[in-house]
Amino acid sequence: MHLTKSSRASIIATLNAIARKSVWMALPVDDFLCGCLLVFVHKKAAALFGQVSTASLFAQNGEASQLSAEIYRIACIHRLAVATPTMTACPIMVETADREFLTH
């Protein structure tokens, strides 16, 4: 799915707000080849950074923040990052994504 920076930010904010009781969170990732991406990471990957707000995941220009890049890097190292809500196997995230945006 091709996303603009603003649509990605809206989707991530909504997913993370609705699924706040999930152990997974949506995260922005900027990739030179694929553009604006949306991935899902286990919240363990963000534990070193304390309480992470959705706003802190974005830079002023709408790109993924340095914090987001570090969380993603840690998640990848520990195999705690997945590409789709279904891959999280978390009913909260799957239902939220299905209901709101991603699988229609």
pLDDT in tens, the chain (104 residues): 567 888 889 889 989 998 888 999 999 998 765 667 889 999 999 999 999 999 999 998 889 999 999 999 999 999 999 999 999 999 988 888 777 665 44
What kind and span of H or E run contains 38?
A: strand 35-42
Q: Is residue 103 part of a domain?
A: no
Q: What is the pLDDT of residue 103?
A: 47
The total number of structural domains that make up the chain = 1
Domain span at residue 66? 5-98
Q: Is residue 31 part of a domain?
A: yes
User: What is the rounded distance in angstroms from the CA atom of residue 64 to the CA atom of residue 27?
Assistant: 8
Q: Is residue 104 part of a domain?
A: no
pTM: 0.86
CB-CB contact of 88 with 82 (8 Å): yes
Q: Is residue 28 part of a domain?
A: yes
